[in-house]
Amino acid sequence: MLPLMRIADTTDVHTPSDDLAIARVLAGDPASFEVLMRRYNRRVFRAVRAVLRDEAEAEDVVQDAWVRAYTHLRQFAGRSSFATWLTRIAIHEALARKRYRARHTALDEHASALPARTRPPEQELGARQVASALEAAIDALPAHYRTAFVLRDLEGLSTVETAACLDVPQATVKTRLHRARGLLRSQLDATLGVSADGVYAFGGHRCDRIVDAVMARIRAGEVPRTPGS
């Protein structure tokens, strides 16, 4: 397994719980939705980015997923965590966009051979260079392996949570993760100690941009678009 270092949970203990934030939104306080957005924006972005392999398109789909989650918030029954429910919506949106894109482009999703490494990684590589190398290798993984790897190893979800997000058995998650790690191991030096921090980077500016755009759409009463449109 690659020695990835997970990012610490930065949720503020003083902010409302998911249940309380949801209750406030349903009681007529849409501003409380921002709490949920800032809590799970990075996870949603990374999950969508893993499916689409395009940052700009991923941001667009993340916005759509948040608007859809807000519009259908009363349908959240609590059978899973809000984060799992939300991630499933986002992945569904991303897959729909991917299908739409495939109908209009000549993308070949099966051409997923890992890129050849032109030179061995060196110790003096900067953190972002190393993260970029890992990011390129992850992007080259087959889609099913890539999403399982991002949710499980980058976002630190459990096998149970990842299976719920992807709507597949736990055994399938384990198999996909094992194969993803094997492919990455063959491409990257396992002694690098790569940090997951810079992979599919999600900085404060991107978070603010998504939050502002989604809240504007919510205030405008926008109805969710058909996935992939």
209 to 15, 65, 68, 198, 204: CA distances (angstroms): 21, 15, 18, 19, 9
CATH tag for 18-107+124-219 (out of 3.30.460.20, 3.40.50.12160, 1.10.1740.10, 1.10.10.1100): 1.10.1740.10
Q: What is the pTM of this model?
A: 0.70
pLDDT of residue 185: 83
Return d(Cα 168, Cα 55) in angstroms, integer: 26
**CB atoms near residue 109 (< 10 Å):** 10
Per-domain residue ranges for the chain? 18-107+124-219
Q: Block means of pLDDT (10 residues each) for the chain, length 229 residues? A: 40 75 95 95 94 91 95 91 95 89 56 46 53 82 92 91 94 94 76 53 81 92 67
Predicted confidence at residue 15, as pLDDT, reads: 78
pLDDT of residue 161: 94
Q: How would you class 36 by CB atoms within 10 Å of its CB: exposed for 0-12, middle for 13-18, buried for 19 or more?
A: buried
Residue 81 is classified by DSSP as -
Q: What is the pLDDT of residue 133?
A: 76
